[in-house]
Amino acid sequence: MMNVRVSIFHIHNSPHTTRPRAVVIGSEAPRRLRRTVKKNTHIWMRPPRNWSALETLNYAQELNRHGGTSHLPSWGQTNITSMLAPQADRVMTLGEWEDRWQENRIGFHQSHVHKMLENNFDKVLAGRTGVRFFFPLCGKAVDMKWLADMGHSVVGVEISEKAIQQFFEENNMTYIEEPVPAIPGAKVYKSSEKNISLYQCDLYNFSSSIEGQFGAIWDRGSLVAINPKDREKYAALIISLMASDCRYLLDTLLYNPELYKGPPFFVPDEQVTRLFGERCDIELLQSVDAMTDRQRAWGLDYLTETVHLISPKSN
């Protein structure tokens, strides 16, 4: 079992063995872990069934403080690297994503407003009105019209022209199509009724020079969809698009990456911290069991959906 969200765990010298060298259980685990873990060991964990996801996450953070980067920095980095290893070299080309849209293989699309956005919307707004939202890899998310109907403006980026056109058509919205001089080959689709602009281009060709910075970002299905090797580049882009008062709502997935190659990809909280923690404050808002028959068909035995609120640190 491979995940850091745990209270009952085994310590191994290899991520490929199931024979534990030691087992640490219960409230004394952090202190005992500090005495037990050696450099380059790996922790494999599974939470007790009666623990909530948030209890498990909080406990894992305590373990990491005592047995991870705080006391054994090289072990902490090795552990994250080993967790990511099964998917580290996985690559999806832009053409493959376009093919999925053309073939209607879009099981990731939701026909309703995402619950994680609804549940945490007040924290994203923080009392503001008329907020400019950015949607990376927006697809045809109905969340965009939901926000525009409330008076907010939306800018999205999507590689699939079909996805963008379907968004406007399925929401009975007229639009105009224009070239984007700053991005060769790119087009922008603008709603005639709502303040929505969707750019059809490679996400990494988009920048703040095109549309400025944003007061909010809703990232559902974007960080978990990009190629794992591109996460540092992705984080740099997202940070560059954040205004000083930006509230970035990030939705990630936790599961055993040895059982499924992705996408969507496994993104542990530890990597979220490494990607954004130096420049931003990070708050865990919600963590829920998201397992359905669809994920069971992938071969998974658990799936946790986690949402963080990320905001630039004040100078």
DSSP of 48-83: -TTS-HHHHHHHHHHHHHHHSTTT-HHHHHHHHHHH
Helix (H) / strand (E) element for 189: namely strand 187-191
Question: Which stretches of the chain drop beneath a pLDDT of 70?
Answer: 1-78
pLDDT for res 82: 85
Instruction: In whole angstroms, give the CA distance from residue 223 to residue 232.
Output: 10
Query: Scanning the structure block, which residue is given the tokens 């967790």?
Result: 83
pTM value > 0.85: no
Distances (CA, A) of 295 to 127, 196, 249, 280, 299: 36, 32, 23, 32, 7
Helix axis angle for 231-240 and 269-276, nearest 10°, is: 50
State the alpha helices, DSSP H only, in 68-177: 73-84, 94-102, 115-119, 121-125, 143-149, 161-170
> d(Cα 203, Cα 6) in Å, to the nearest integer?
35
CB 135 within 8 A of CB 241: no
pLDDT at position 111: 85
Instruction: Classify strands 304-312 and 242-254 as parallel, antiparallel or unpaired.
Output: antiparallel
pLDDT value for 10: 32
Q: Residue 60 has what pLDDT?
A: 52
Q: pLDDT for 167-194, tens place per residue?
A: 999 999 999 999 999 999 999 999 998 8
237 three-class SS: helix
